[in-house]
Amino acid sequence: MLSRTATASLSVSAVSPNPLKKSLFFFHNSKFLGFNNHLASNPLLNFARLAWNGNKTSRRTESFRAMASAQPLADADALIDSVETFIFDCDGVIWKGDKLISGVPETLDLLRSKGKRLVFVTNNSTKSRKQYGKKFETLGLSVSEEEIFASSFAAAAYLKSIDFPKDKKVYVIGEDGILKELELAGIQYLGGPEDGDKKIELKPGFLMEHDHDVGAVVVGFDRYFNYYKIQYATLCIRENPGCLFIATNRDAVTHLTDAQEWAGGGSMNGAISGSTQREPIVVGKPSTFMMDYLSNKFGIQKSQICMVGDRLDTDILFGQNGGCKTLLVLSGVTTLEMLKSPNNAIQPDFYTNKISDFLSLKTATV
């Protein structure tokens, strides 16, 4: 099989062999250096841009080298037998909105019966792992909390991995999932949904106050996004020395319902990037942070993982950046036309209509 792993993937794992602790020493040892007014010359900011802005960088590097076209999945058994672990995206793969995609329960049962480890990774930060566990249960799926990794959890795990100071706080643009994961991690926070109703009364001489103990701003999908939050986050990032700007994801769209696509977390992050002229540290897909975390937690060799997702620029790039096999399903965002477009440089190893094709695709004749 021709490897499609990004040859110049720029992530924390490329900097150090231990991405969870040692590779993040730069953040830990040079905490809060104060790069608010000296963006171009600050090494911490440059490192963050280099290491975590994998989405833009990887797509640039992909365009410089020839890529074999993705192959339709003809031999599901061979793919299943070639790996130990399947990582599934959720929105567009397992469900759309609150509706389960057909054939999913039977497919997961099949893979478990073959002794495969199943992990579910989502860029949606609105829920905590525990809350996602309840959603799986509501949809009739038996999935443990230990098998679920949401970008809300990734944000808290990242802050813990860099030894975020206990006397510092996190300002949250996002929903309940981020707050719950930060609380479980023992990290102080403010903001979140309760700031959704706050307004700014613009009058002569008005100056908006902000908490100078905020050491990080975490931005995720937020249905209650408003100008108050934009200004508060902007003040923290620009005026608090060394304040980190962390994005749970940069997804352009999301599936709030199964009827249409909705503006995703990337729109919230885009607003903060625009006002601060800063690029965020991305902890969700396609950043390799969650992949490295999972690999270390479960002791999985990345070559023994297959990443299954419906997005090219997050799910498939996530798998490629991590050195995994990749399978694109056409049940979500990406269509066959988009995959085969000459403008698309991201090619998975295989593609198929939906994950239940595992049930019908038998060993092909060689």
Residue 61 has pLDDT above 80, yes or no: no
The pLDDT value given to residue 120: 98
Question: What region, left, alpha or beta, does residue 119 occupy, with left being phi > 0 and alpha being psi -120 to 50 degrees?
Answer: beta
Those residues whose C-beta lies under 8 Å from the C-beta of residue 229, and which sit 6 or more positions away, are 173, 191, 195, 196, 198, 222
Number of domains observed in the structure of the chain = 2
Per-residue pLDDT tens for 315-351?
Answer: 999 999 999 999 999 999 999 999 999 999 999 999 9
- pLDDT, residue 363, reads 45
Mean pLDDT over 47-54 rounds to: 40
The first and second tokens of residue 88, run together, are: 């599934």
Domain boundary among 243, 261, 282: 282
pLDDT (0 to 100) of residue 362: 56
Q: Is residue 46 part of a domain?
A: yes
Q: Exactly one of 84, 209, 239, 279 is catalytic; which is it?
A: 84
Cβ-based neighbours of 81, under 8 Å, separated by 6 or more: none
Instruction: Convert the pLDDT of each residue in 4-46 to its tens digit.
Output: 443 333 333 333 333 333 333 333 333 333 333 333 333 333 3
pLDDT at 224 over 90: yes
User: Which one-letter DSSP state was computed for residue 192?
Assistant: G
Mean pLDDT of the region 90-117? 95
Q: What is the CATH number of the domain that holds 219?
A: 3.40.50.1000
Specify if 364 maps to a domain.
no
Are both 177 and 276 inside the same structural domain?
yes
223 lies in the same domain as 292? no
Work out the pLDDT band at 69, boundaries 50, 70, 90. confident
First to last CA, the chain: 14
Which pLDDT does position 254 carry in this prediction? 82
- Averaged pLDDT for residues 155-175: 97
Claim to verify: residue 338 and residue 266 sit in the same structural domain: no
Select the more confidently predicted residue: 365 or 210. 210
- Asked if residues 128 and 158 have their Cβ atoms less than 8 Å apart, the reply is no
Is the residue at 291 inside a domain?
A: yes
Same-domain pairing of 137 and 268? no
Last residue within a domain, chosen from 221, 247, 282: 282
Token code pair at residue 147: 């098998």
Determine if the peptide bond prior to 19 is cis (ω within 30°): no
**Residue 120 belongs to domain spanning:** 72-151+287-357
Residue 159 resides in a domain: no
pLDDT of 8 reads 32
**Closest to 191 measured CA to CA, from 224, 153, 151, 155:** 224
Q: What average pLDDT does the structure give for the chain?
A: 84
Considering 222, 254, 282, which residue would you say is the last residue of a domain? 282
**CA-CA distance, 335 to 240, in Å (whole number)?**
44
Instruction: Please state, in angstroms and rounded to a whole number, the distance separating the CA atoms of residues 103 and 135.
Output: 17
> Averaged over 302-322, what is the pLDDT?
96
**Same domain for 222 and 264:** yes
Supply 213's token pair. Answer: 């103990």
Confidence (pLDDT) at 102:
95
Q: 84 catalytic, yes or no?
A: yes
Tokens of 37: 């007014």
Do 276 and 347 belong together in one domain?
Answer: no
Given a cut of 90, whether residue 278 has pLDDT beyond it is yes
pTM confidence score: 0.79
Out of 2-6, 234-238, 361-365, which region has the weakest mean confidence (pLDDT)?
A: 2-6
Query: Quick one: 197 and 49 in the same domain?
Result: yes
